[in-house]
Structure formats: structure tokens, C-alpha cells
Amino acid sequence: MARNMQVDGGRLWQSLVEMAKIGETDKGGVCRLALSEVDKNGRDLFVGWCEEAGLTVRVDEIGNIFARRPGRFDDRLAVGTGSHLDSQPTGGRFDGVYGVLAGLEVIRTLNDHGVETDAPVELAVWTNEEGARFDPAMMGSGVYAGVFALEATLEHRDREGASVEEALTSIGYKGSEIIGGHRFGAFFEAHIEQGPILENEKKTIGIVSGVQGIRWYDVIVTGDEAHAGPTPMSTRRDALAVAASLIPRIYDLALDRPPFGRATVGDFHSEPASRNTVPGVARFSVDLRHPDEGQLARMDIGLKAVAASVVEERGLACTVDDVWYSSPVVFDPLCVAAVGKGAELMGYSAMEIVSGAGHDAVYVSRTAPTGMIFIPCKDGVSHNEIESATSEDVEAGANVLLHAMLECAQGAEVP
């Protein structure tokens, strides 16, 4: 019977519609900034639904919510799922909230069918995934996983000067559960893709194999300022001209590594930024991405070699400062396989995909075997009020989540 089980897509859609009323914007999106009154209202609605579903709700010290459905062997590690309820200031109706309510729908479906799983099942809402009001993004899952220290994080302040701790207290979600007090045996996060690949490939389900690694840099080229008129082209030490010649070679680091390599120069300025002065300094940012750690390391070496060659070929100074590194995440093979099996069982078209964005699952994966399920979103648009997904795809992703979780929650202890 469990093999034929399906979620109630209409009920899931209705829950999404109801949650989208909380913080709804004129353009059809939502504004539910983390730990605001609106976030509280969303959390309260969610907790009410969990209690109706017979779940035991606990809140930890950073405001993460855990709602538990007991298992036959209740001392086993729970099979978890979840995502976030907070949004960008001009956010959509699916980013984050989809993963939370798909998880709730899985639990409601298990209740409908009277299924007792071997392992307990647990639904998580992670605090402040977006990082729009308080830095950093993926705060709750990061504290849970020990990436960020609790005490320091509670001191972070928004632009009005309110701290995370004050905001948690004022909305009544400063819980008592010790951080990381319990772990998952396996964890799955369902999410809209936030990119165009599934739609372009006409696939319903993205079996997420991992998350791209990211390296950020500041590059500075230093030459000499000179008058734009009297100074011959041959004797100039033009920092902008040299920087401009570097940039195509930086793009090549990604273009030489299709389809996953990415290189972006997103911020560029020259000094003194005067129309009739040869620029003496050019500064720009570089963002390099690849899901394979070795490839990303080679891109890193390549960038530094390009910079060194400038010094040699053009006689100008060029420095490359490392700003940030987020290593690639490879999801657990058993969890990835469980997602693939779920899609196959339901007869959905599916493909393996690498996430270009960060998610709570990235940090959770440091503590438990983890996988993700993507569904398409219209035109790949997200972090936008017009963000959209079809009810068919929403239902399909929840069905895959159901069967992936059942795969791990039944029978032999997994992993």
C-alpha cells in the first residue's frame, strides 16, 4: 500500500495559498522578514497545523522549530525534512515555504493512511535562511550545525539595532531546546529550483546531487595615472586597460569547464575615474563556482596565474585577495538515490542537477546524510514577487519527498 501512496495535492496547494496571505504584497508575493511580527504569524499558523496533525513541537535556542511524529522504534534518529518560512523583502510564495509545507503534507498523508514508520519523522523550520534582515543567510541551520556560534549570532543586529535575541524573544520563539540537541538519521529538503534548467529540459523533478562551491576574490591592478592627451599609448601604464584584458581570460576559466564552471565579474571600478586621466588603479570582484572541489581549486590556481602573468607581461602590479570560500557539497549517495527512486516510482521525468544557490540542507548535510528535491519554477525566477510554480509540480515534488522519506524511515536502520 505504501508504494501507491500519494499526497493530497489540493490540500498542499491550499496550505500554500493560506500561508501566502501572511505578509502578502500587492504584486502577489510575500514579505515575511525573519523574526518579524509577520514571521511570527506564519510560524503560529504552521505550529497550529502541526498540532492538528498530532505532532510534538519543540523550539531551539535560535528559534528553529522541530515537529515530530513518533516512529515504531522511537529511539531511532528521525528522518527529517523542512526548509524556511522567512522571505526576501520582495519574496515569492514558494521559496522555502514550499519545502516546509511539502513536509507537512507528507505527514498529513502518513496520518490519512495510518502508516506507522519505523523511524520517527520530523519536520524542521530553520530560522532566517534568507539573511535579508539579519546576517548571515542560513543562520538557523548554520547554528544548528555548529558553523556559527550561538552566542555571537544572537548578538547580530538588524538596521534598526534590534538583536536576533531580542527579536526571538519579542515574537515568542526563543526556545529552550539545546542547539543540535538531536540529530537526524537522514534529511531531505524540497525546494523550487530558482533557475531555468528543469523548465528548459522539460523535467518535473531535479535530483539534487550537490551544491556548487564558491570562491570570492578582490582583484586590484595598479599602474600610473597620466594625462590622456600628451601621454603616448606605448608608454602608458593603464590599469583599466590591463584589467579589461584580464577579464576574458577569467571567463575562460569557467568556459573551459562546461557545463558547471561559472565566472562572474560583478563589481568593477577605476580610479581616479576621470574622463581625461589614464586610470592608475582598477579594482574588481571575481566570483568563481564549480561543484567539483578539484576543478574549483584549478580555477583558483588559474586566476592567480592570470594575475601573475600580467605583472610579467605588462609590468603592472596585480594582487588577488581571497574574500570567501564555500566548499562544494556532495549530497549523500543513499539520499540522492532515494530521491531518484521516488521519482521513478511515481513515473515523473527527472534529472540530476547541481544547486547553484545555498540552502539550509547545505549546513544540515554536515550533521546527517542529506538530499534535496527540486521542482521547476516559472522562467527560473525567484527572489521576486512574481515567483511561480504549477500545482502539478508542487504535488509531484511532495510525492517524491514522501517516498524518499519512506525509503529511509522504513525497515533497516538507515544509513
* Interaction site with Zn ion (CB under 5 A): 95-96
In degrees, to the nearest 5, what angle opens at C-alpha 166 toward C-alphas 163 and 168? 105
- Cβ proximity to Zn ion: between 185 and 358 the closer is 358
Counting other chains too, the contacts that 266-270 makes at CB distance below 8 Å and 24 or more residues apart are 268/243, 270/239, 270/240, 270/243
Closer to Zn ion by Cβ: residue 95 or 122: 95
CB of 382 to Zn ion, least distance (A): 8
Minimum CB separation of residue 290 from Zn ion in Å reads 22
> Closest distance between Zn ion and the C-beta of residue 94, in Å?
9
Pairing of strands 317-326, 213-222: antiparallel
Residue whose CB is nearest to Zn ion in the complex, by number: 96
CB of 383 to Zn ion, least distance (A): 9
Contacts of residue 204, Cβ cutoff 8 Å, sequence gap at least 6? 198, 343, 348, 349, 350, 375, 376, 392, 393, 396
Q: How far is the CB of 410 from Zn ion (least distance, A)?
A: 28
For Zn ion, give the closer residue by CB, 110 or 143: 143
Question: Looking at the chain, how many residues does it have?
Answer: 415
What minimum distance in Å lies between the beta carbon of 282 and Zn ion?
A: 35
DSSP label at residue 30? B
* The three grid cell numbers given for residue 165, joined into one nine-digit string: 535575541
Buried b (16+ CB within 10 A) or exposed e, 329-345: bebbeebbebbbebbeb
Rounded CA separation 70/111 (Å): 11
- 401: closest CA among 104, 73, 182? 104
**Which residue, 9 or 131, is less far from Zn ion as judged by CB?**
131
Using CB atoms within 10 A of its CB, is residue 68 exposed (0-12), middle (13-18) or buried (19+)?
A: buried
Which residue, among 171, 165, 99, has the nearest Cα to 129 in the 3D structure?
99
Q: Cβ of residue 151: shortest distance to Zn ion, in angstroms?
A: 26
Q: What whole-number distance in Å separates Cα of residue 49 and Cα of residue 211? A: 31
Nearer to Zn ion, 103 or 279 (CB): 103
Residue whose CB is less far from Zn ion, 117 or 388 = 388
Q: Which is nearer to Zn ion, 125 or 286 (CB)?
A: 125
